[in-house]
Amino acid sequence: MTNYVKLERQDPVATITLNRPDQRNAISFQMWGELSQLLVKLDADRDVRAVIITGAGEEAFSAGADISDFEEYRSDSIKGLRYNNAVNGLLQTLDNMATPTISMIRGFAVGGGCELAIATDLRLAAEGSRFGIPVARLGISIGHREMRGLVSLVGKGNALYILLSGRLVDALEAKDMGLVNQVLPPEKLGETTYKLAKDIAYLAPLSHRANKETLNQMMAKPSLDNLTPEEAGLPLAQFDTLDYQEGYRAFLEKRHPQFTGE
């Protein structure tokens, strides 16, 4: 793994930092794959209950794809396919993760950096952060997976505003659109994000997994008419877990539950 992707752990929370502050944490071709592989490993680790993704420094979460990669990886449709597959691989990994993920955003979250943030479950941003996907300035477009993530957060009208205008929106406008969950003073961002991550981590991981999976099923089959028996039974399956028994007993005994993910 390159030094451009940094991992820190204070279980049950893991932090991934995009570590290229001199390049505004631009994401290189190799980094897409490295991030995906790292997230898969963290998702399989039962000691990790929440993952925070952030950028090094104060200037940017990520300014997007590394422009220096374009000649080698994006100069025509054949090369572009390989690059898009790398991006889609990371977005698919985030979509599949049972472990909750949070983007902690300072500064610019633009292009692929914005798409990465969109793919996480939650987004907390510092005041003064800026968001956008100005692909029309380069004469390219976003893929179907990126489009689905964007529209699911901000709706058709706001998605088209972001894409067609090529503008960057500030944190408060992004919050109004639904692009971010909270906007905070810069000095409060870290404290609030880690408090949220720990609060999430101490709740039942099987509940988180099931809720995320149910959400994905609902998005894929919005009519709910053609759910498989397994899909339809997912919410009921939680009643057969040890975590439910622990949560139920803890509620009756007026104590904090100790969830194990079983």
pLDDT, tens only, 182-196: 999 999 999 999 999
* DSSP sequence for 2-66: -TTEEEEEETTEEEEEE--GGGTT-B-HHHHHHHHHHHHHHHH-TT--EEEEEESSSSEEE--B-
pLDDT, tens only, 126-175: 999 999 999 999 888 899 999 999 999 999 999 999 999 999 999 999 99
Instruction: Report the chain's C-alpha Rg in angstroms.
Output: 19
Q: Which of 117, 177, 120 is nearest to 153 (CA)?
A: 177
Question: Which one has a higher pLDDT value, 96 or 231?
Answer: 96
What is the predicted pLDDT for the residue at 67? 76
Return the half-sphere exposure (C-beta side, CA atoms, 13 A cut-off) of residue 127: 5
pLDDT, tens only, 25-82: 999 989 999 999 999 999 999 999 999 999 999 999 999 888 777 666 666 777 778 8
Q: Which of 180, 32, 4 is nearest to 104 (CA)?
A: 180
5-201 CATH fold: 2-enoyl-CoA Hydratase; Chain A, domain 1 (3.90.226)
Mean pLDDT (the chain, rounded)? 92
For the chain, what are the domain ranges? 5-201, 205-253
Backbone angles phi, psi at 98, to 5 degrees: -80, -30
Report the amino acid identity of residue 104. M
Whether cis (ω within 30° of 0) applies to the bond prior to 185 is no
Cβ pair 55, 15 in contact under 8 A: no
Question: Above 60 in pLDDT, residue 234?
Answer: yes
Judging by DSSP bridges, how do beta strands 182-184 and 60-62 pair with one another?
unpaired
What is the predicted pLDDT for the residue at 73? 67
Q: pTM score > 0.75 for this model?
A: yes
| Angle 99-100-105 from CA coordinates, rounded to 5° | 135
Q: What is the SS3 assignment for 104? A: strand
Give dist(CA 124, CA 184) in Å, integer.
8
Give dist(CA 207, CA 99) in Å, integer.
10
